């Protein structure tokens, strides 16, 4: 944990920290070796909402609302890891669009995209290793979190077109595939603000809930939004055989639809109609609300100063309502 006696002259405000993350991420992506520079430049132009980095920085605020410079490095590392997972996801899904732009695999091909994703993983670990107080972060096992992400992706692949997939099993899969990196972000931030190990565990649990909400809301977007609004192909999960919660619930309620799906005869339009009839999106949002309520309880019980509480609540609300 960060020593509370650290010199506050080295610390920065939250807003300054966010600006530094964006600046350092661009600098990192644009200073890679020439062989991967074109891919990195493309990714630099398609960055997301920085929700994981923002969460890490918010969690790392001390009682004065200030952030240790190491939190900026860790936030950049988390964003690079997230970017790497997206690059690999797009290859697996054969996706053409991401954040309103062509994916790396679409623009450069699958092989360069896979290697670029691997390189981003290595770059993320290199950035994290640049923290000035490494010995104080030995309890933060970043590779373990990334291992959970990879295992979640593998389990998702194994369960492709598994129309018997249970709700419980699906929630377990996304707890690794999506929620693990959120947990890592919240936990790292807690370590960097000098909180106790017990409280750091609460931050980790909060990150888990936010990550679960984020994925479940994303599942709903597939059945609610057009490609233009979502800025990515909708129902691409269904086309790739990935079964998400709105459809899992629908298949459980409608054996006839399950039979069509197993026979490979369920079209996208039929899937959307069936999910709407079964209220699969409403069910998914209800599950998301349960996580939201648990997360609110943690935020209320952490005894946070007002600015930190406002920021973490805003992040929670953003995950729950959709990033927009």
- pLDDT (tens digit, 9 = 90+) per residue, 53-90? 999 999 999 989 999 999 999 999 999 999 999 999 88
- 3 is a domain residue: no
Share of the chain above pLDDT 90, in %: 67
- 290 is a domain residue: yes
pLDDT band at 101 (very low <50, low <70, confident <90, very high): confident
- 45 is a domain residue: yes
- 223 is a domain residue: yes
- 21 is a domain residue: yes
pLDDT band at 93 (very low <50, low <70, confident <90, very high): confident
- 1 is a domain residue: no
Query: And the tokens for 263?
Result: 């026979």
pLDDT band at 140 (very low <50, low <70, confident <90, very high): low
- 61 is a domain residue: yes
pLDDT at residue number 114: 93
Share of the chain above pLDDT 70, in %: 90
pLDDT band at 5 (very low <50, low <70, confident <90, very high): very low
Residue 322: pLDDT over 50: yes
Specify the CATH number for the domain of residue 171: 1.10.600.10
Distance CA 138, CA 141 (A): 7
Q: Supply the range of the domain harboring residue 212.
A: 8-321
The more confidently predicted of residues 234 and 23 is 23
- 253 is a domain residue: yes
Our count of domains for the chain comes to 1
Q: What is the mean pLDDT of residues 250-267?
A: 95
pLDDT at residue number 135: 56
């Amino acid at each position: 944990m960060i020593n509370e006696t650290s010199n506050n002259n080295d610390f920065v405000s939250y807003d300054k920290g966010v600006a530094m993350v964006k600046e350092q991420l661009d600098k990192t992506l644009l200073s890679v070796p020439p062989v991967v520079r074109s891919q990195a430049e493309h990714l630099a132009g398609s960055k997301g909402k920085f929700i994981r980095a923002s969460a890490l920085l918010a969690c790392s605020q001390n009682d004065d609302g200030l952030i240790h410079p190491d939190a900026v490095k860790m936030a950049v590392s988390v964003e690079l890891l997230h970017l790497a997972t997206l690059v690999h996801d797009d290859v697996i899904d054969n996706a053409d669009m991401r954040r309103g732009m062509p994916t790396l695999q679409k623009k450069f091909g699958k092989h360069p995209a896979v290697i670029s994703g691997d390189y981003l993983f290595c770059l993320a670990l290199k950035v994290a290793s640049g923290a000035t107080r490494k010995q104080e972060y030995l309890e933060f096992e970043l590779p373990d979190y990334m291992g959970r992400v990879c295992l979640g992706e593998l389990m998702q692949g194994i369960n492709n077109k598994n129309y018997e997939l249970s709700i419980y099993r699906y929630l377990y899969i996304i707890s690794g595939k999506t929620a693990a990196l959120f947990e890592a972000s919240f936990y790292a931030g807690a370590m960097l603000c000098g909180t106790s190990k017990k409280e750091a565990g609460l931050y980790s649990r909060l990150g888990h809930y936010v990550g679960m909400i984020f994925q479940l809301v994303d599942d709903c977007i597939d059945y609610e939004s057009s490609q233009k609004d979502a800025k990515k192909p909708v129902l691409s999960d269904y086309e790739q055989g990935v079964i998400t919660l709105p459809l899992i619930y629908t298949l459980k309620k409608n054996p006839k639809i399950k039979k069509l799906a197993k026979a490979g005869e369920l079209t996208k339009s039929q899937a959307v109609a069936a999910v709407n009839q079964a209220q699969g999106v409403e069910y998914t949002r209800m599950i998301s609300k349960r996580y939201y309520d648990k997360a609110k309880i943690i935020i209320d019980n952490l005894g946070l100063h007002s600015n930190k509480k406002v920021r973490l609540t805003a992040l929670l609300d953003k995950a729950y309502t959709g990033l927009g």
